[in-house]
Amino acid sequence: MLRVVGGSGLHLYNKSFVDELNYPKKHQSNIMRITIITICSLISSAISFAQSLDKALLLAEQGLTSEAKIELIDVIFSRSPDNDKAKAYYELGKVAFENTQISQALKSWTKLTENYPNSKEAKLVEDELDQLSEIVGESAKETVDNAVAASYLRHADFWSSDRQRVFTIDSSWIPKVKTAIKWYDKIIEEFPNTKAARIAYEEKLRTLIGWEDRGQYGSSYGLKSSFRTYMPQLLSTFEELETNFPNAPTLQAFRYQIAQSYWNEKDFGNTRVWLNEIIKQAGDVDSFYKDTAERRLQKVEY
């Protein structure tokens, strides 16, 4: 099978058909040469687009968001395949969202669902667009297309510039730990085995470990409020994190927090169990938590 470049694009012909054309050999050789060059050019372009996406992701990871956006926009307006453009729109929205530019994220993801509705990236965000719209309506400053209307808004904004743009929510009587866990569990359920799920596990553990409000009448949450209620949840959540993400860099830190929580309750038996587990997991590596666990074991009762 030969790929021949014609005036209207690329066409495929069987080799036997080309032979029947009785082209001189030098013409057939030219056709083959053009075909090879075209194929190499297409392959080179595909590699280039993939490299641009990889470069954009690396720039975003390093905090160079402006440069990352430029790379992603270049992919969108290039001759890259549709799946690369869909991914570029998705990542563009993601970069904006992670920098609290909610309105921009909404615009990018809306474009994604409009232009590439069947892409896997569109399916990831289409169910969340309504929620993003709610956030935009609450806190983001949008622009309008009509210049006269925009000028009226500027006049109004001048006289109401002291108003709050971010709404406050009275959280009294709302169970903070339970409500937070609901959303962490939603991430874990809908996005299993992803970076988002790992972070959700870790933040859920921190929530269960708990905290205390400052002030004379401050409240306590998580383990700080009820060891018996929250320790079983803490242990089961840690087990899930360890099972699903055995290489998570936070495992040793959470093991120590669990050991310390038992120590605070004067449960020295379980304190030793978790401290020894830290040492076992560290192996021959002289790490911070291994050293700390060994030192704590020398004086567990104090």
Put residue 155 in one of left, alpha, beta given phi > 0 → left and psi -120 to 50 → alpha. Answer: alpha
pLDDT reported for residue 183: 94
Residues 6+ apart with CB under 8 A from 211: 220, 221, 222, 224
Choices 1.25.40.10, 1.20.58.1000, 3.40.50.10860, 3.60.21.70: CATH for 2-142: 1.25.40.10
pLDDT range class, residue 295, cuts 50, 70, 90: very high
Instruction: Name the residue type at position 298.
Output: Q
pLDDT reported for residue 173: 87
pLDDT reported for residue 166: 67
Please enumerate, as own/partner, the contacts of 170-178 that have beta carbons within 8 Å and a separation of 24 or more: 176/221, 177/207, 177/208, 177/210, 177/221, 177/222, 177/230
Residues 6+ apart with CB under 8 A from 127: none
- Determine the average pLDDT of the residues in 54-60: 80
Give Cα 21 distance to the centre of its chain: 56
Name the segment(s) of the chain with CATH classification 1.25.40.10: 2-142
pLDDT tens digits, 184-227: 999 999 889 988 899 999 999 999 999 998 766 678 999 999 99
Provide the CATH number for the domain formed by 176-298 in this structure. Answer: 1.25.40
Per-residue pLDDT at 130 exceeds 90 = no
Instruction: Name the residue type at position 266.
Output: K
Residues 6+ apart with CB under 8 A from 130: none
Q: Of the ranges 22-36, 198-212, 229-243, 262-276, which one carries the lowest mean pLDDT score?
A: 22-36
DSSP 168: P
pLDDT range class, residue 134, cuts 50, 70, 90: low
pLDDT range class, residue 240, cuts 50, 70, 90: very high
Q: Of the ranges 55-69, 75-89, 261-275, 280-294, which one carries the lowest mean pLDDT score?
A: 55-69
pLDDT reported for residue 55: 83
Residue with tokens 């400052």: 214
pLDDT > 70: percent of the chain: 77
- Determine the average pLDDT of the residues in 141-162: 79
pLDDT range class, residue 179, cuts 50, 70, 90: very high
pLDDT reported for residue 31: 53
Put residue 286 in one of left, alpha, beta given phi > 0 → left and psi -120 to 50 → alpha. Answer: beta
pLDDT reported for residue 18: 46
- Mean residue pLDDT across the chain: 81
Element spanning 9, H or E: strand 9-13
